[in-house]
Structure 1
Amino acid sequence: MTVGIVISSTRPGRVGDQIGAWMAGRAGAGGDLIDLAEQGLPLLDEPEHASTGNYARAHTRRWSERIAGCAALVFVTPEYNSSFPASLKNALDFLYHEWRGKPVGVVAYGGVSSGGRAAQSLLPVLVHLGMIPVGTRLVRFRDHLADGRFVPGDALDSDADDLLATLRRATTPVVPVPPLAS
């Protein structure tokens, strides 16, 4: 099972790349680290609505293939001005069917609110796109910095492992149990 770990900040000097790499490390071999700063997505430039699936641009087709290959997703997002960044909204808007039915987790980070307002703003968008939210983890990242490097510690490692386990369970098909014979 491939879990796409999407780093949503494209800002220079961000810590999202460190948090994303940590999450991908926790996911192990099934983790696919996807950095929006490397995807080359301009401000939405597709002539047709994403729900048609008719993608005219090569960057959209590459983005579609990358997301379609993921069984579940984790969005690693900072909180900017009480919400999630425009880079993530733009990336979400490029696609439609590729998101549908996928379990999704959110790892939000920030200062005072630990990214809580970003996660709260993001969840309605994810639900509208047909994703299945399974959990949110908040990281007050300044509490986990040492010499400018993100150092998660045991409690955050445990939270990450729990979120990833929940995603894995959500992607496991349910096998119907036959009724008991009477």
Structure 2
Amino acid sequence: MTERVRVAVIIGSTREGRFGPRVAEWFAAHARRRPELDIDLVDLAETGLPEALTDPYADTGAPPPGPVGALAPRLAAADAFVVVTPEYNRSIPAPLKTAIDWFYREWQAKPVAVVAYGRDSGGALAAAHLRQVFAEVHAVTVPDAVLLPRYWELFAPDGSWPKPTADREAALKTTLDQLIWWAHALREARTARPYTG
């Protein structure tokens, strides 16, 4: 039997009236249908992470702020991550960037998938920015992403979200398949030889 894969699905927007929880729940509902996956939904709006980042490399001996210490074990326990993000001004929300920057080893040598939503680009620019950011903390972003252009138009007549389409379903399946493959491959690699980057 293959060991289960623990996936942290991170809601990257904290704004009032945000759409991120709907997108995250949609993705998580599909992911939970995969019997090999355990899903941990991490809502940054509920974590209480400090907005101001202290120098993570300063050797002060002081423990990290309480919310940082509380979230660290959840991220460390994950084999893989899915980041759900809107696109703000051609990039990602500031709280998401700060949340990534608060941690380092928790991300290392683990795969990250991006689910982005926005105007006409569907969040493609935010996804591209996230690839650069995660490369710096030695995480591996999977090749495909789920992009949702003009997401406000994706409601079905009954108010449910999103309207089912072959394109979205195919993108979600491909992204999940890649994430699971990379999660197994990198977990086996970390077990055989601890990552020291």
Structure 2 stretches lacking a partner, 5+ long: 189-197
Alpha-carbon offset, residue 149 of structure 1 = 4.7
Q: Distance in 1 between matches of 2:105 and 2:77?
A: 12
1:109 to 114, 117, 125: 117
Q: Which residue of 2 aligns with 1:150?
A: 161
Give the superposition deviation at 1:105. 0.6
Matches within 5 A, 1:1-182: 1-28=5-32, 30-46=38-54, 48-49=56-57, 55-134=63-142, 135-140=144-149, 141-146=151-156, 149-155=160-166, 156-173=168-185
Structure 2 letter corresponding to 1:136:
A
**Residues in 1 aligned to 2:61 and 2:159: alpha-carbon distance in whole angstroms:** 42
Alpha-carbon distance in 1 for matches of 2:101, 2:16: 23
Spell out, residue by residue over 1:125-172, the C-alpha distance to the aligned partner (whole angstroms, 9 max, x if none).
Answer: 011110101132211112312476521414323321221111111122
- Whether the 8 Å contact between 2:56 and 2:102 is mirrored in structure 1 is no
C-alpha separation in 2, matches of 1:70 and 1:89: 19
Query: Partner amino acid for 2:117?
Result: Y
How far the C-alpha of 1:26 sits from its partner, in A, is 1.2
SS of the residue aligned with 1:167?
helix
Between 1:149-158 and 1:117-126, the stretch displaced more is 149-158
The answer (yes or no) to whether the contact 1:79–1:117 under 8 Å persists in 2 is yes
Please state how far the C-alpha of 1:45 moved relative to its aligned partner. 4.3
The structural deviation recorded for 1:122 is: 1.5
SS at match of 1:19: helix
Gap change, CA 1:45 and 1:81, over 3 Å in 2: closer
User: Corresponding residue for 1:180?
Assistant: none
Deviations 1:43-77 (A, max 9, x none): 13446438999743211111111111110001000
Q: Which amino acid aligns with 1:159?
A: A
Measured in 2, the distance between the counterparts of 1:53 and 1:9 equals 31
What amino acid maps onto 1:142 in structure 2?
W
Letter in 2 for 1:59: P
CA distance in 1, matches of 2:89, 2:159: 22
> Letter of the aligned partner of 1:150 in structure 2?
W
SS of 1:145's equivalent?
coil
Q: Secondary structure at the match of 1:109?
A: strand
Q: 1:153 is paired with a residue of what secondary structure?
A: coil
